[in-house]
Amino acid sequence: MPFIRTSVRKNTSRERVAGIVDGVHQALVEAIGMPADELFNLVSEYEPEQFFYDRKFNGIARSDELLVIEITMRRGRSDAMKRALYASIASRLETIGVSPKDVFIFMHENDYSDWSVGNGVFAMAIAQQRGNDA
């Protein structure tokens, strides 16, 4: 179950934020085979004066609309899967008007022992099991 944190510039429209969340989610489903019901994306806004970045880092010309996507998930995806994921995210967001140049993605990997996803239960004890609340 990936957990996503998305940071967008303040006053980004609700529609655009929803499109970003959906694009990231669909890319995760497509590129790494994440189950469709594993949607957890915490979106925060930043004030322009709170985010300092080099507009030309690594030869990429960034705009005022830079967004940051942090993905935390269980370790074990190949580099090829991650490459496909990053490309899919950028491509999907481009369809809603987000420049691929403005998509910054960070991956954090850990193990089941680093998670509790509900009821205060150590995730390793319930790895890949479904609850019956649904």
Lowest-confidence pick of 64-68, 85-89, 114-118: 114-118
Mean pLDDT across the stretch 110-124? 79
Query: Does the residue 78 lie in any domain?
Result: yes
Mean pLDDT across the stretch 66-85? 95
3-state secondary structure the chain: CCEEEEEEECCCCHHHHHHHHHHHHHHHHHHHCCCCCCCCEEEEEECHHHCCCCCCHHHCCCCCCCEEEEEEEECCCCHHHHHHHHHHHHHHHHCCCCCHHHEEEEEEEECHHHCCCCCCCCHHHHCCCCCCCC
- Cα separation of 110 and 125, whole Å? 16
Strand order in the sheet with 67-74: 41-46, 3-9, 67-74, 103-110
What is the domain-level CATH number for residue 12?
A: 3.30.429.10
The confidence band for 13, taking pLDDT boundaries of 50, 70 and 90, is very high
Number of structural domains found in the chain: 1
Query: Does the residue 122 lie in any domain?
Result: yes
pTM: 0.87
Percent of the chain with pLDDT over 90: 79
Lowest-confidence pick of 17-26, 28-37, 82-91, 107-116: 107-116
Query: Does the residue 133 lie in any domain?
Result: no
Mean pLDDT across the stretch 35-48? 96
Residue 69 scores a pLDDT above 90: yes
Range of the domain at 72: 3-126
Q: Which residues are catalytic?
A: 2
Query: Does the residue 47 lie in any domain?
Result: yes
Query: Does the residue 132 lie in any domain?
Result: no
Highest-scoring range by mean pLDDT, 73-77, 94-98, 130-134 = 94-98
Query: Does the residue 131 lie in any domain?
Result: no
Query: Does the residue 109 lie in any domain?
Result: yes
Query: Does the residue 44 lie in any domain?
Result: yes
Residue 128 scores a pLDDT above 70: no
Lowest-confidence pick of 19-23, 40-44, 74-78, 102-106: 74-78
